[in-house]
Structure 1
Amino acid sequence: MASLQMFDGWNRQYEHYCGGVLINRKWVLTAAHCTIGGKRKFLVVLGAHSLSRYESSKQIFHIKRQIPHPEFSRITGENDIQLLELENNAMINNDVDVLKLPGGMVDDLKPGTSCLVAGWGQTSKGFPSDTLQEVTIEVIDRKTCNSKDYYDHKPEVTQNMICAGDSEGRGDSCAGDSGGPLLCNGTYVGIVSFGKICADPKKPGVYTFVSKYLCWIWKTIAMQAYNMTNEKLY
């Protein structure tokens, strides 16, 4: 897990803003809406459990490059995915590890599939959590999620998205969880993208379907490595 932290000019400190996932020693995957626009300053913190306490496990990185998907839409939420290149390589140890991407295209998830979402977002008390939390939710079929009682196609939950929640409103992703991972059957399948009302059974969380973007992810990373090699040659 990665904590993407934004500099708060008023409090003169970095504060948790979004989640993310370390997919190799130099790259973090998160949601595009987390950093799009403006000249805000960000850090990535790895190995954290508590955001406020000192923990020797924490590794802190400046971001060298932010690469949102070129076709990301704030209006529809489509293509809400982004790569962050760290200034330095993360140290892999007992506290920090890589979460592997799916090996190939993951079949569409069956409704009712049990999944886990994690982050430091708002809890039932209405405040962000200082410690990393996780909750179990279930996949909801897109037809239901797009129905009049749910999102009513405003926005549309597309084939590039996963809809997941709890029919009794006991758990959900919430503000501050954006960019964090959705894992189903132990596989990293989704990125927290958007929702309307936290833990509302009729307004479940919507997640970017990671496997739909594997080509873009690996192509982007390879292109940056190629460019870096060429820069060194000159």
Structure 2
Amino acid sequence: MVKRAVALIAVLLLSTTGTAAAERIKPLVVGGTLASAAEAPWAVVLTNKAAVRESKRWCGGVLVAPDKVLTAAHCAGQAASSYGVIQGRASLTDLEVGRFSAVSKVWVHPKYDTENNRNDFAVLTLAKPMTGVPVLGLETSAKADRRGVVPTVYGWGNTSGTGPEDTLQKLAVPDLGDATCAGIDGYTENGYTAAANICAGFLDGTGDACQGDSGGPLVLNGRLLGLVSWGKGCAEPRYPGVYAEIAPVAKTLLEQVR
């Protein structure tokens, strides 16, 4: 796992790459419910040959064009040839359903910064376009990120026993507003900023995205509001999830998608 942390509070990214650091993280979407591939056809699994899990699950992603997948930059540090993308498979053990494509190209946001976790975006070009599959549009209005709205996060990541792993789950996570995360000890030091992030989740630890969900979609009103990026542990009280916000970088991302 790429280390994107402030040692003081052990803030760590929500990817699953099988390193010793990942093994130390509490493997907790936590508190979610099962989702079908039909209700989120644009949600995809990013696999990698280096993944230690049998399913080769690496991260989540979003189909934003027939041949383009948007995911987190911290998920995209390997060679393009090592990645694969699975669509339409709610349970990764069900090999009889879904579509697969290799990845021919990886683009990482040129201003991605591992020190402050900014611009955590990457675009993967598929070797085999997934024609006929609905894609998810990007949110372009910064006003969409506002306290009180309730977007939904999707992912196949770890659940800490609240549901089956390697199975698509969803969780409605209230937008807590930027002031909430900016006021949490260590979050600003780790790079949280209102201009680039979304603070969403539960302060009582009810539920959260977790390891394996990185790069997965945070959806509001049928548009992609953000991507799973980082947090302190998973579903820890007082520490909600941090999402990379789409709207501020939508123009740059659309240039890669079109």
Matches within 5 A, 1:91-110: 91-92=131-132, 96-102=133-139, 104-110=140-146
Give the Cα–Cα distance (whole angstroms) in 1 for the partners of residues 224 and 84 of structure 2: 23
Amino acid across the alignment from 1:100: G
Contact kept in structure 2, 1:32 and 1:72, CA below 8 Å? yes
Higher strand share: 1
User: Counterparts of 1:173 and 1:54 in 2: how far apart (Å)?
Assistant: 25
Aligned twin of 1:17? 58
Question: Residue 170 of structure 1 is aligned with which of 187, 203, 206?
Answer: 206
Residue 26 of structure 1 deviates from its aligned partner by: 0.6
The TM-score with structure 1 as length reference comes to: 0.84
Q: For residues 106 and 154 of structure 1, what CA distance do their matches in structure 2 show?
A: 23
1:123-162 paired onto structure 2 within 5 Å: 123-125=159-161, 129-147=165-183, 149-158=184-193, 159-162=195-198
Give, in angstroms, the shift of residue 100 of structure 1.
1.8
Are residues 1:71 and 2:108 paired?
A: no
Q: Which amino acid aligns with 1:6?
A: N
C-alpha distance in 2 between matches for 1:112 and 1:128: 29
Matched, 1:49 2:90: yes
**1:6 aligns to 2:48 (yes or no):** yes
TM-score for both structures, normalised by structure 2: 0.76
Given that 2:85 and 2:102 are in contact with CA atoms closer than 8 Å, whether structure 1 keeps it comes out as yes
For residues 180 and 152 of structure 1, what CA distance do their matches in structure 2 show? Answer: 21
Q: Summarize deviations over 1:149-168 as a string: whole Å, max 9, x none.
A: 44341213111111111132
CA deviation string 1:53-85 (max 9, x = no partner) = 2233x1111101000101101221100001000
Structure 2 equivalent of residue 117 of structure 1: 153
The one-character-per-residue Cα deviations of 1:92-136 (angstroms, maximum 9, x if unpaired) are: 2xxx4211223x324152212211101011113289712100111
1:23-69, Cα deviation, whole Å (9 max, x unpaired): 1101000000002256871111111111112233x111110100010
CA contact (8 A) 1:6 1:17 kept: yes
The one of the two structures with greater contact order (alpha-carbon pairs below 8 A, sep at least 6) is: 2
- Check 1:195–1:40 CA distance in 2 against 1; reply closer, same or farther (3 A cut): farther
Q: In the alignment, does 2:238 pair up with 1:198?
A: no
Please tell me whether Structure 1 or Structure 2 has the larger radius of gyration of its CA atoms: 1
SS at match of 2:157: coil
CA distance in 2, matches of 1:7, 1:181: 23
Runs of 4+ in 1 over 4 A off after TM superposition: 37-40
Indicate how the Cα distance of structure 1 residues 9 and 218 shifts in structure 2: closer, same or farther if over 3 A, else same.
Answer: closer
Structure 2 gaps of 5+ residues are 1-42
Match of 2:100 in 1: 60
In structure 2, relative to structure 1, the CA distance for the partners of 1:82 and 1:59 (3 Å cut) is same
CA contact (8 A) 1:2 1:47 kept: yes
SS in 2 for 1:138: coil
Q: Tell me: CA distance 1:153–1:210, structure 2 relative to 1, closer, same or farther (3 Å).
A: same
1:217 maps to what in 2?
253
For the 8 Å contact 1:51–1:131, the answer to whether it is kept is yes
| Inter-CA distance 150–186: structure 2 relative to 1 (3 Å threshold) | farther
CA distance in 1, matches of 2:86, 2:164: 17
